[in-house]
Amino acid sequence: MLFNSIEFVIFFIVVTGLYFLLNHRYRWMLLLISSCYFYMAFVPVYILILGFTIVIDYYAGILIEGSTGKRRKSWLVVSLVANIGVLAIFKYYNFINDNITALLYGVGQSNPIPYLNILLPIGLSFHTFQAMSYTIEVYRGHQKAERHFGIYSLYVMFYPQLVAGPIERPQNLLFQFYKEHKFEYTRVISGLQLMLWGFFKKLVIADRLAVYVDSIYNNAEHHNGPTLIVATIFFAFQIYCDFSGYSDIAIGSAKVMGFDLMTNFKRPYFSSSISEFWSRWHISLSTWFRDYLYISLGGNRVSVPRWYFNLFIVFLISGLWHGANWTYIIWGALNGLYLVFALVRARYIDTFFQKNINLPSPLVKSVNIMVTFALICFSWIFFRAASFQDASLIITKMITTGGSVFVSNAFLFLYCILAIILLIGIELRQELKGQILFFKSDRLILRNLSYIFLILLILLIGVFDGGQFIYFQF
Amino acid sequence: MEKQDIFRFVKRTLLFFLAVFLVDFAVGQVMRYFYFRQDSGSLYRTTYALDSTTAQVLVLGSSRASRHYNPDVMQVAMNRTVYNAGQKGNHIFYHYGILKGVLRRYKPQVVVLDILYDEFKPVQDSYDRLSVFLPYHDTHPELEELINLRSPFEPVKLVSKVYPYNSLILPVLNGNLGFDKVREPEIKGYLPIDAVMTDSVKKRSERIEYGLDSLKLQTFEEIMSTCKKEGINLYVVFSPAYLENIGNNYSVSIARKIASEQGVPFLDFSGTEPFVSDNKLYSDNVHLNAKGADIFSRQVADSIANRLKNQN
């Protein structure tokens, strides 16, 4: 069930209505049943995989808590192997197998390992990472093992964030299922505001840009450099609005019922450095890697070369997390390199400039924002391209070919430009004033006019036949 | 406290939706006014086909129809008035909708249905494109069935008065300002292209068999049975394309077979000279340019006129 469907709107109204009508004691059951229904609306049979990891992690949590020393660690290993194993089979098996085939082919051998004809369960990477954070936190002693099987299942399956995050931590989410959430007017309104903003980003911006981006990227060989540059910039806004739109709807729908999920995006394209970008983009994943991988590798409390290596490896794995394709791995590696270079630059070059040259800071900030955006756009080429060959072709064409930007449908192109201008305008206000349009105004009329304005824009220029969210595939 | 909050929420939500309803109604009316005020452009041509044309010969089809049939040329050969109701990007559902709309007002003597290669291939876009009929949902009840093919929730969405004009602000503006009169002048629905195809290499179109869209097949049959019932002479035409083996396209073969079973003439121009060998008659592989369209219009009109003469 997609968030951008009438089915979801009906589902949300019914579930939220019943949630507030039910006695607190039974609410977890309602949420669990509705989450199962939500997940099974995609491919019903994959709930069995989810069930498998839930059972393993539930018992692993209890066993970890009840043991010490090596035994404690071995239960954690069992849980991690089960989760990573499921990911490996469903997400990486065929990718690894393809690469083995290519390697063996290179030495004139054939690959005896069979190809698995399986579909990737929706949101697999998200809920396995959330499940792993639970057993790791229990192991570290930061979280008590959850004894209530239903509540633990709900922690993994809570429908707003089940298929594309935010990837929650047990300390932030589990206790909220025990709390009685009363109907609070201000909270409900604030949740609905976020949902409306999320729908706007998805329907008006992301899906509109997708039409142009898909038409160019799917036929990259026929297009010139300027067209590919424009399509890449459009894709940068498309993926941002697609994913942050999803996150806003998820956080907003949970908020209406009284749950606080973690912030996932903070207007990342206003970042003036790559490290700032990663503190504003997909925050729940970045912090997951920081907490469970980067710190485990020693973080920055190691020698400088090792520190750079730690950063690079975390981003490389983050790329692999996104998808079983070399393009994602290169995308991750590229971002890792950016960060390492930024650290080197900060250490030597920036210090020199700060001491010797005095440029006005708004100018420096503006230039930095543009450079950061350009670097991120460059990395998006690998993220969007179907293969490494396609990405190479696109980059080559960007450098070597000129001409005018391809516009097959002038109206579509104009809509895309207008949508981006609108987004930048609204987010600039949010960045400076801390609110979307007049969402937090003291004047009721201004707040309501803001909502009506967005609803009208959705009805007038939203794409109602749009596809699913990009991050669902991960 | 909770009860107070619920009461406040319900009250304000009702008032809010009342405000949304009023604004939606007002903006919807403005959009409607400007939509039906257009006097050029593709949206206007749909309105004209549904509400105004009284031509004796009606051409239905996609962009290939709108680019290939010159009514002025056909009129001379057929001695009948002709209107080209072809619309780019649309499929069999659209053609059926136009036919149904027209039949509410009058009965054309001849309908020429230009069939597209891969016409019966299951493509979601064919359903999405039915949004073209949304502005007519309240004036043309005969289109309701087709509109509902988009999704089962279409009647719910149509509660909004703005929704039928979704994504149409710029095209409506264009249709009111008349830019298309200069940019893309039409001749009774026909849109000539002056460009000449430069690539003379004839690509091969491989025959690929796919699962057929049963709704599209059913619609094709309904067009034939409707014409038969109304006493309209229907001609199914496959117009020229600069592609090797295109006449063997799976959907084209299916259309040919069904037409033959129903006793409807199927005119196949995929192997006809001069279109087979002269790339200068095309603007691209699948669209004739104005020169090619004039030659084709004469050929197809002569063919139909002869058949009509023999029939009488």
* B161 part of a folded domain: no
The percent of residues above 90 in pLDDT, for chain B, comes to 76
Contact B162 A183 (CB under 8 A): no
Instruction: Considering only the beta carbons, identify the residue of B5, B151, B174 that sits closest to A185.
Output: B5
Structure confidence by residue, pLDDT tens digits, A42-68: 888 889 999 999 999 999 999 999 998
Domains: count for chain A: 2
- A8-50, pLDDT tens digit by residue? 999 999 999 999 999 999 999 999 999 999 999 888 888 999 9
**What rounded mean pLDDT belongs to chain A?**
90
Average pLDDT of chain B is 92
Q: Which domain holds residue A332?
A: 186-473
pLDDT of residue A83: 94
Based on the fold, state whether residues A254 and A383 are members of the same structural domain. yes
Q: Hey, are the CB atoms on B27 and A455 less than 8 Å from each other? A: no
Residue B299 within any structural domain of the chain = yes
Name the residue of chain A whose CA is nearest to B127's CA: A465
User: Contacts of residue B27 in chain A, CB cutoff 8 Å?
Assistant: 456, 460
Based on the fold, state whether residues A219 and A84 are members of the same structural domain: no
Reported as half-sphere exposure (CB side, CA atoms, 13 A), residue A96 has a value of: 10
What CATH number did the domain enclosing B261 receive?
Answer: 3.40.50.1110
- The minimum CA-CA distance between A104 and chain B, rounded to whole Å, is 33
Angstroms from A461 CA to nearest CA on chain B: 5
Q: Does A464 touch chain B (CB under 8 A)?
A: yes
C-alpha B93/C-alpha B63 separation (Å) is 14
Best residue in B4, B6, B184 to probe A by mutation, most A CBs within 10 Å? B6
**Could you give the ipTM of this predicted complex?**
0.83
In a domain, B120, yes or no: yes
What is the torsional sign of CA B109, B115, B121, B122?
negative
CB-CB: which of B8, B131, B169 is closest to A461?
B169
* Contact at CB, A448 and B6, closer than 8 angstroms: no
Res. A4: pLDDT tops 90 = no
Q: Give the pLDDT band of residue A114 (cuts 50, 70, 90).
A: confident
Strand arrangement of the beta sheet that strand B82-84 belongs to = B82-84, B57-60, B110-114, B233-238, B266-268
Higher pLDDT, A403 or B50: B50
The verdict on residue B82 lying in a domain is yes
pTM over 0.90: no
The reply to whether A392 falls in a domain is yes
Question: CB-based contact (8 Å) between A460 and chain B?
Answer: yes
Contact assignment for A185 to B165 by CB distance below 8 Å: no
Q: Are residues A156 and A42 in the same domain?
A: yes
Residues A322 and A395 occupy one common structural domain = yes
Q: Does A463 touch chain B (CB under 8 A)?
A: yes
Q: How many CB pairs under 8 A join A and B?
A: 63
Whether residue A201 sits in one domain with residue A149: no
Per-residue model confidence as pLDDT tens digits over A310-351: 999 999 999 999 988 899 999 999 999 999 988 888 777 767
A178: exposed, middle or buried (C-beta count within 10 Å: 0-12, 13-18, 19+)? Answer: exposed
Residue A148 annotated in active site: no
- How close is the nearest chain B Cα to the Cα of A7, in Å? 9
Q: Is A180 on the interface with B (CB under 8 A)?
A: no
Res A111: pLDDT: 82
Q: Which residues of B touch A (CB under 8 A)?
A: 1-2, 5-6, 8-9, 16, 19-20, 23-24, 27, 31, 124, 128, 131, 150-151, 153, 156-157, 160, 162-163, 165-167, 169-171, 174
Instruction: Report the gap between the CA of A325 and the closest CA in chain B (Å).
Output: 28
Q: In this predicted structure, what is the pLDDT of residue B1?
A: 65
Q: Is residue B287 part of a domain?
A: yes
Q: Please report residues of A whose CB lies closer than 8 A to that of B128.
A: 465
Element (H, E) at B235: strand B233-238
Q: In terms of domains, do A249 and A147 share one?
A: no
pLDDT digits (tens, 9 = 90+) for A68-109: 889 999 999 999 999 999 999 988 888 888 888 888 888 888
What total of structural domains would you count in chain B?
1
- Ramachandran bin of A108, using left for φ above 0, alpha for ψ from -120 to 50, beta for the remaining angles: left
Q: Which two tokens stand for residue A193?
A: 């505001």
Last residue of a domain, one of A180, A204, A227: A180
Task: State the smallest CA–CA distance between residue A466 and chain B in angstroms.
Answer: 10
Percent of chain A with pLDDT over 70: 96
In tens, the pLDDT along A131-168 reads 999 999 999 999 999 999 999 999 999 999 988 879 99
Domain presence at residue B46:
no
Whether A415 has its CB under 8 Å from any CB of chain B: the answer is: yes
Interchain proximity A415–B167, CB inside 8 Å? yes
What is the rounded distance in angstroms from the CA atom of residue B163 to the CA atom of residue B295? 42
Q: Judge whether A1 lies within some domain.
A: no
Q: Does A411 touch chain B (CB under 8 A)?
A: yes
**Beta-sheet pairing, B266-268 with B287-288:** unpaired
Give the rounded percent of residues in chain A with a pLDDT score beyond 90. 66
Residues in A closer than 8 angstroms to B166, CB to CB, are 459-462, 464
Cβ contacts (< 8 Å) between B16 and chain A: which residues? 448, 451
Using an 8 Å CB-CB cutoff, list chain A residues near B151: 6
pLDDT at res. A467: 61
H helices then E strands: how many in chain A? Answer: 21, 0
pLDDT in tens, B172-229: 998 999 888 888 888 999 999 999 988 878 888 888 888 899 999 999 999 999 999 9
Residue A202, pLDDT > 70, answer: yes
**B23, B35, B88: which to substitute to probe chain A, counting the most A Cβ within 10 Å?**
B23
A183 vs B151: CB contact, 8 Å cut-off?
A: no
Q: How many CB atoms lie within 10 A of CB B276?
A: 16
* Boundary of a domain, candidates A149, A180, A211: A180
Is residue A165 within 8 Å of residue A105, measured between CB atoms?
no
Residue B290: how many other CB atoms lie within 10 Å: 18
Residues A280 and A349 in one domain: yes
Residue A466: which pLDDT band, with cuts at 50, 70 and 90?
low
| Shortest CA distance from B150: residue in chain A | A465
Lowest mean pLDDT among A34-38, A187-191, B58-62, B275-279: B275-279
Give A-chain residues touching B30 at CB under 8 angstroms. none
Chain A hits for B163, Cβ within 8 Å: 459, 464
Cross-chain CB nearest to B2 (options A182, A189, A451) = A182
Tokens matching residue A396? 């080559």
Q: Write down the pLDDT at residue B72.
A: 94
Q: Please check whether residue B39 lies inside any domain of the structure.
A: no
Under the banding of pLDDT at 50, 70 and 90, the label for residue A469 is low
Model pLDDT, residue A58: 96
**Contact state of A461 with B166 under an 8 Å Cβ cutoff:** yes
What's residue B203's pLDDT?
86
Q: What is the CA radius of gyration of chain A?
A: 23
- The pLDDT tens digits of the residues spanning B66-122 come to 999 999 999 999 999 999 999 998 999 999 999 999 999 999 999 999 999 999 999
Residue A266 lies in a domain: yes
Verify whether the Cβ–Cβ distance A6 to B27 is below 8 Å.
no
> Of A303-307, B30-34, B210-214, where does the model show the most confidence?
B30-34
Determine whether the interchain pair B157/A451 forms a contact, defined as Cβ–Cβ distance below 8 Å: no
Which of A418, A460, A463 would best serve as a mutation to test chain B binding (most B beta carbons within 10 A)?
A: A460
CB contact under 8 A, B166 and A448: no
Given A127, A223, A282, A322, which residue is catalytic? A322
Percent of chain B with pLDDT over 70: 99
Residue A386 token pair: 């179907």
Q: Which residues of B301-311 are buried (b: 16+ CB within 10 A; e: fewer)?
A: bebbbeebeee
Identify which of B14, B12, B28 has the alpha carbon closest to the alpha carbon of residue B157.
B28
Which of A239-253, A340-354, B7-21 has the lowest average pLDDT? A340-354
Please indicate, yes or no, whether residues A266 and A315 belong to a single structural domain of this protein: yes
Indicate yes or no: CB of B162 within 8 angstroms of CB of A456. yes
Considering the domain boundaries, does residue B157 fall inside one? no
Give how far the C-alpha of residue A311 lies from the chain's centroid of Cα atoms, to the nearest Å: 19
Structural domain harbouring B253: 54-150+186-311
